[in-house]
Chain A
Amino acid sequence: MTTRRALLAAGGLVLLVRPAWATPESLRKAIDTFAGGKDVRNGRVTLAIDTLVENGNAVPVSVSVQSPMTAADHVQRIAIFTPQNPLPEVVVFHLSPLNGRAQVSTRMRMATSQPVIALAQMNDGSVWRHSVDVVVTLAACLEGN
């Protein structure tokens, strides 16, 4: 094996040993915890986020859910997840019929270009999902300035 190949192999090993971001495994675990083992279906949720973001330090993000927000049918929780930030969880909002509408906004950090996943849990336990692929030109600083 040439020196260059050895070096490349060693580099690959380092990447395997310590992933710099949340692995798909931890993302799946976080989503399963949120969904409480229920199937996650597409629909009802709308994630509003720019698909091209200049500054990953503060990305405006808004989630709305189709729901009458009555005592019989309302959104209980809305969560945002990312697969390639250091942690999969971003935020969990707790809502109730007192809100009258299911729409929340915040500003998040993004370590790199990646999908952003919004989940909503209804009072009947069903979980709905919407995901948007986002390209980030300047990532949130993980490695200092």
Chain B
Amino acid sequence: MARALVRTPATARPGEVVEIRVLLQHPMETGFRPGADGRVLPRDIVTRVEAHFEGARVFAADLFPAIAANPYLAFPLRITGAGNLVVTFEGDNGFTHRETAAIRLA
């Protein structure tokens, strides 16, 4: 099971723009690298990351093999109120993962 971290500020004021940081444990195998037996390892990457805040999509990213292993993404978010930020990951071989982080007001 994959592990993901979604880092939000402990508290935020309405109207403030904060940085959300996302880190996912994933090999991001490029599909260009030979393994120990000399054969090219099949591609296994995360292709899509989305963030929804209270139902509205606030961020999305399409990832390609050139993203480093254990992908890290940071994006800004304007705080409109308290709620849950849901980050979803989709990838090769049916990979899916979902992580929720709470946003609290100061």
Q: Is the CB of B60 within 8 A of A94?
A: yes
Q: How far is the CA of A89 from the CA of B35 in the complex (A)?
A: 23
Q: Is B88 an interface residue (CB 8 A)?
A: no
Residues from chain A with Cβ under 8 Å of B76 in the complex: 99-104
Interface string of B35-78 (1 = CB under 8 A from A): 11000000000000000010011111111111111011111111
- Confirm or deny: B33 has a beta carbon within 8 angstroms of a beta carbon on chain A: yes
Asked if B81 is at the interface of the complex by the 8 Å CB criterion, the answer is: no
Note all chain B residues with C-beta closer than 8 A to A100. Answer: 17, 76-78
- Within 8 Å by CB of B67, from A94, A98, A101, A108, lies A108
Q: Contacts of B83 on A, CB cut-off 8 Å?
A: none
In this assembly, does B95 line the interface, its C-beta being within 8 Å of a C-beta of chain A? no
Q: Is A104 within 8 A of B75, CB to CB?
A: yes
Q: How many residues of B contact A (CB 8 A)?
A: 31
Q: Which residue of B lies closest to A144 (CB)?
A: B34
Contact check, B68 vs A93: say whether CB atoms are below 8 A apart.
Answer: no
Instruction: Say yes or no for A127: interface residue by CB 8 A criterion.
Output: no
Q: How far is the CA of A87 from the CA of B62 in the complex (A)?
A: 14
**Within 8 Å of chain B (Cβ to Cβ): is A82?**
yes
Q: Of all chain A residues, which has the CB nearest B36?
A: A144
Name which residue of chain B comes closest to A102, CB basis.
B76
A86-B30, A86-B32, A98-B58 given as contacts; is B67 within 8 A of A106 (CB)? yes
Residues in A lying within 8 Å of B, measured CB to CB: 57-59, 62, 82, 85-87, 89-96, 98-110, 141-144
